[in-house]
A and B are shown apart, each in its own frame.
Chain A
Amino acid sequence: MATERVKKEEKYPVARRYQVADVQVSREAQAVKPEVIVRLVKKAKHPVLITGGQLLKDEKLVEYAVKFHEKGIPIIATGGSSKPLIEKGVKPQSAVFTLHQITQYMLDPDWKGFDDKGAYDVVLYLGFLPYYLSRMLSALKHFSKITTISLDEFYHPHARFSFTNLTANKEMHYRMLEEVINGL
């Protein structure tokens, strides 16, 4: 059942890096459970969810993004993910800029965000090619103080926080997303 919580006794998979050769000397992301993410987002002053092109291939991810939006989390849509989201009534803050451009803007403390409310402090990511997202997270890790949280199925070492590696258990991934949304 999609709304079911991940049970305490259920074993979380090991946080296996999306790419075995992506080895760093500095900190790696903390693999966190949904409730930790809920707390981080609730404490955030200016959170945002950025959606990627994989929403065009996985309708479930679209559904979850819509639910985040319904919980009041603004969305920046990239990679064409705006199209299915708009069809479901979501109005993203931006639809045309790439994650690459948005990351460049986020690295500038003078940027006021698409909503002109100042810098985003907690950024959630959903639905990206892992190697594409990874480099953006690396840029933000080294050159900003933004808290980055990956909600994707691959564990992202360059995020500040990430879901663990959920590639072998898609249902668990969906349940964890549901759990975050329900907690907000």
Chain B
Amino acid sequence: MAFELREGVFVLDDVRNVSIRIGKVIEEEEEWEEAGPTPMPGIMELRKWDHKLLERYEPFYAPVQDFCNLCTMGPCDLSANKRGACGIDLKTAKARLVTIACCIGAAAHTAHARHLLDHLIEEFGEDTPIDLGPDVNVEAPNIRTIVGVKPKTLGDLRVALEWAEREIVKVLHATHIGNEESLVDYESKAMHVSMCDHVGMEVADIAQIVAYNLPKAEPDTPLVDTGFGVVDRSKPVIVVVGHNVMYARPIADYLEEHGLIDQFEIAGLCCTSHDMTRYNAKAKIFGPISYQLRVIRAGLPDIIVSDEQCIRADLLEACKAMGIPLIATSDAAVRGLPDVNEWDVDKIADALATGKLAGVFLTDPVKIGEVAVRVARAVFEKKKKGELFFESEEEFKNEIAKCTQCMNCVFTCPHNLRIDQGMAHAQKTGDVSKLAKLEEQCIACMKCEQVCPKNIRIINVIMRSNLNNLYAKTGKTRVGRGPVQDTEIRKVGQPIVFGQIPGVIAAVGCVNFPDEMGDLRIILEEFLKRRYIVVTSGCHAMDLGMIKDEEGQTLYEKYPGNFDAGGLVNMGSCVANSHIAGACIKIANIFAMRPLRGNYAEIADYILNRVGAVGFSWGPYSHKAASIATGFNRLGVPVVVGPHGMKYRRAYIGKPWNPEKWWVYDIKTRQKMNIEPAPDALLLAVETKEEAIVQLARLCLRPNDTSMGRQIKLTHYLELSQKYMGTLPDDWPIYVRSEADLPLKMKEELLHILESEHGWKIDWSKKKILEGPIRPYDAGFNPTLVEEVYEKYTKGK
């Protein structure tokens, strides 16, 4: 008799009282690729790679506090690098703090992935195949490279998730008092846990793409309405906020099933809105976290459904103040609300619609869909439809009149916005334009209102001052597409590695911008015009959907959505950031045929030396942004952050003036050789948009650039420096290996500068550099920092 081995409980007919339970059946794994050296790495396996990076890109610490109060022996004064009661010094304490931040970020995405995956396996089955469309064969580049497995089904993703969860706990343990004493090893752990973050993100996004049939690497996704003015106020408005679409989806389903989708508005705040539009393009995007109070204080929602991450911790209070019922759906943010999962729908809907309860905690997706719709309709019908932010112009003016210019608000505002000057100008002249200008910069954090001795509703004043423009800032976002196609990588892999496509700029992260949101467009359009590839996700991606030019177009309407030169690619929500790392990894794999399986250090080394990709977070604030960036850093991708990014306290900045730091092994010549410092930083904060543009172009340079590639990259770097810095950059000569690297239009001028100011020898008859560069250009140059990679490609050859 043939016996098929499968999971389940079996009773043997002839053996009384004996049953056999078969748990997971381990099938022989397909030999898809030779196993690399570090599958499922622990803390130690990639430490050597981290130390290589950290030797070159030295950690920089900028303490926000010079004390530590994490244990009961303290508080301890660590100033001037003194040691605390536990023995830790200030730098190591800051390294620990950054490691903790990265743990929080990684845990957020990974727990999100766990939540989704368990739910989706239950709803759709563990055998649901991972199918990301016909053009994606390398389905999970992070998981393949890091964990060393090739997932084929939703169930297979569990292995990767379990590995990530285990490693996050291990790193978090290392932050306990009395553990690590080396700041470099703390940084290695921060990199390790941040690499886990990219696995967690990849699990989450693959799972939701597959189960919810979100766009599968399609460049031409629909354009959806984005901005404060997206909703038709003559319809009930349901607002979803957070990052986990699992709970917002049933609302769209309920509306569709009952033929109500056109009678309601469903709009989102933060990444849930991205994923809602990926699920149903009739959904709309209100905006990022800084739009929460704008939308709530305006009274636009008739109900709010919250899930997790980057949601205001006073959401319930803010909703209560406006009479907006709240449904909290994630156990990560229960908000003190009663658990009503056991109640029937009528009872829940009645409690919310009548105001008996300000909010409820409800996780049953089916009930959420129906309750949200019924309550929104009931609230809408009885809602008074008045003016926004203030009931009348007189009330608005009276509020402004209260200001005494004490400046308490200025000294608590994260941007030190000059609210006092805006108020004073409005009081004297009646002109609110200075206050209106603040709306473009305000993140609506509400700190100002708490210190105002006159209890002025400052947020409302600022928003009301710019109400027309706030409405007008409504545009289009291209729906997040998910991963990059393998076919796209085949097309652009070579020009990226050789440098003909000058770089990939990945604009991701939050909205703690130093100035107006419009600067983000200016920065990115500079690169789109110059035919860089620009990818984006999360809050940056939705901000781009509300910044229009004179013709009323957003960048999404001007530039195509394919991963190619001059393309603007919206990957999706935060967890879609994993596809950006994935695209870098795929270049190493698909173009260069480097094996992925458990082969992280080789792939990261390849990316660091060859792939001119730079992360860019103009307004970072979250812990997730810290772990995303640090994960990119370990993968060899530098990241530029806006000025608030300094408050992460730690950066990785190399010293280009120290030649000892800049070397590689050349597999071709079998020599250890000095190279140009490219890139010379892994994590760097800039102050202005001008500086951001120049640094992004600069950090796209890579040692492996061909002459043509280097010429193109230097052309952009030099042009941008002249445009924004008013001069050639100080350091351009160190990137010149031969005359062929020089921008064609400036070649003669630059040769003269090299000769006269830097003492290089030039053969003017041939316009050839004879002496001067750090190293000559060699077309076969094959750099690596990793001894094992060097040995692998030289041994016996």
Which A residues have a C-beta under 8 Å from some C-beta of B? 16-27, 52-53, 56, 77-80, 82-87, 94-101, 103-105, 107-108, 110-112, 114, 128-132, 135-136, 138-139, 141-143, 154, 167-168
**Does B651 interact with chain A (Cβ within 8 Å)?**
yes
- B: interface residue count bin: 35 or more
**Does B792 interact with chain A (Cβ within 8 Å)?**
no
Cβ B691 vs Cβ A154 within 8 A: no
Interchain Cβ contacts within 8 Å, total number = 163
Cβ A18 vs Cβ B416 within 8 A: yes
Cβ A100 vs Cβ B729 within 8 A: no
Cβ B655 vs Cβ A104 within 8 A: yes
Interface string of B409-432 (1 = CB under 8 A from A): 011101110000000000000000
CA distance A24 to B67 in the complex (A): 7
Q: Which residues of B contact A104 (CB under 8 A)?
A: 58, 60, 651, 653, 655
Given A52-B687, A53-B690, A83-B725; A20-B411 close (CB under 8 Å): yes
Which B residues have a C-beta under 8 Å from some C-beta of A? 58, 60-67, 75, 77, 79-81, 90-91, 405, 407-408, 410-412, 414-416, 451, 514, 643-644, 646-647, 649, 651, 653, 655, 657-658, 680-681, 684-688, 690-691, 694-695, 698, 721, 724-727, 729-731
Cβ B416 vs Cβ A80 within 8 A: no
Taking each of A23, A78, A104, which has the highest tally of chain B beta carbons within 10 Å of its own beta carbon? A104
Nearest residue, chain A, Cβ from B653:
A104
Shortest Cβ gap from B216 to chain A (Å): 40
Given contacts A53-B688, A96-B721, A103-B60, 15 further A-B contacts (CB under 8 A): A20-B408, A26-B80, A78-B687, A79-B691, A96-B698, A98-B687, A98-B695, A101-B653, A104-B60, A105-B655, A114-B730, A131-B414, A131-B644, A139-B63, A143-B91
CA distance A23 to B66 in the complex (A): 9
Cβ A80 vs Cβ B691 within 8 A: yes
Cβ B64 vs Cβ A138 within 8 A: yes
Shortest Cβ gap from B687 to chain A (Å): 4
Q: Which residues of B contact A96 (CB under 8 A)?
A: 694, 698, 721, 725, 729-731
Q: Which residues of B contact A99 (CB under 8 A)?
A: 687
CA distance A49 to B793 in the complex (A): 50
CA distance A78 to B408 in the complex (A): 30
Q: Which residues of B contact A130 (CB under 8 A)?
A: 416
Q: Which residues of A contact B415 (CB under 8 A)?
A: 131
Q: Which residues of A contact B657 (CB under 8 A)?
A: 105, 111-112
Q: Contact check: which of B79, B416, B646, B730 meets A135 at CB < 8 Å?
A: B646
Cβ B66 vs Cβ A26 within 8 A: yes
Given A95-B730, A104-B653; A142-B646 close (CB under 8 Å): no
CA distance A23 to B69 in the complex (A): 14
Q: Contact check: which of B66, B75, B451, B695 meets A20 at CB < 8 Å?
A: B451
Q: Which residues of A contact B405 (CB under 8 A)?
A: 168
Cβ B684 vs Cβ A100 within 8 A: yes
Please list 28 pairs of residues, one from A and one from B, whose beta carbons are closer than 8 Å in the complex, sorted by A's number: A16-B411, A19-B416, A20-B408, A25-B67, A25-B77, A78-B691, A79-B691, A80-B688, A95-B721, A96-B730, A98-B687, A103-B60, A108-B655, A111-B657, A130-B416, A131-B414, A135-B649, A138-B62, A138-B64, A138-B66, A139-B61, A139-B62, A141-B80, A142-B79, A142-B80, A142-B81, A142-B90, A143-B81
Cβ A110 vs Cβ B658 within 8 A: yes
Shortest Cβ gap from A158 to chain B (Å): 9
Nearest residue, chain B, Cβ from A97:
B730
CA distance A86 to B66 in the complex (A): 38
Given A105-B655, A110-B658; A135-B62 close (CB under 8 Å): yes
Nearest residue, chain B, Cβ from A93:
B730
Shortest Cβ gap from A140 to chain B (Å): 9
Nearest residue, chain B, Cβ from A96:
B729
Cβ A53 vs Cβ B687 within 8 A: yes
CA distance A17 to B514 in the complex (A): 19
Q: Contact check: which of A20, A80, A98 meets B724 at CB < 8 Å?
A: A80
Q: Which residues of B contact A78 (CB under 8 A)?
A: 687, 691
Cβ A167 vs Cβ B687 within 8 A: no
Q: Which residues of B contact A110 (CB under 8 A)?
A: 658
CA distance A53 to B79 in the complex (A): 29
Cβ A95 vs Cβ B684 within 8 A: no
Shortest Cβ gap from A26 to chain B (Å): 3
Taking each of B410, B646, B657, B686, which has the highest tally of chain A beta carbons within 10 Å of its own beta carbon? B646
Cβ A19 vs Cβ B691 within 8 A: no
Cβ A82 vs Cβ B691 within 8 A: no
Nearest residue, chain A, Cβ from B406:
A168
Cβ B727 vs Cβ A95 within 8 A: yes
Cβ A56 vs Cβ B688 within 8 A: yes
Q: Which 6 A-B pairs have the closest CB atoms?
A: A26-B79, A80-B690, A83-B726, A53-B688, A135-B62, A132-B643
Q: Which residues of B contact A79 (CB under 8 A)?
A: 686-688, 690-691
Shortest Cβ gap from A153 to chain B (Å): 10
Cβ A129 vs Cβ B687 within 8 A: yes
Shortest Cβ gap from B629 to chain A (Å): 14
Given A24-B66, A142-B66; A18-B81 close (CB under 8 Å): no
Nearest residue, chain B, Cβ from A26:
B79
Q: Which residues of B contact A95 (CB under 8 A)?
A: 721, 725-727, 729-730
Taking each of A21, A23, A95, which has the highest tally of chain B beta carbons within 10 Å of its own beta carbon? A95
Shortest Cβ gap from A107 to chain B (Å): 7
CA distance A126 to B410 in the complex (A): 20
CA distance A82 to B730 in the complex (A): 11
Q: Which residues of B contact A141 (CB under 8 A)?
A: 79-80
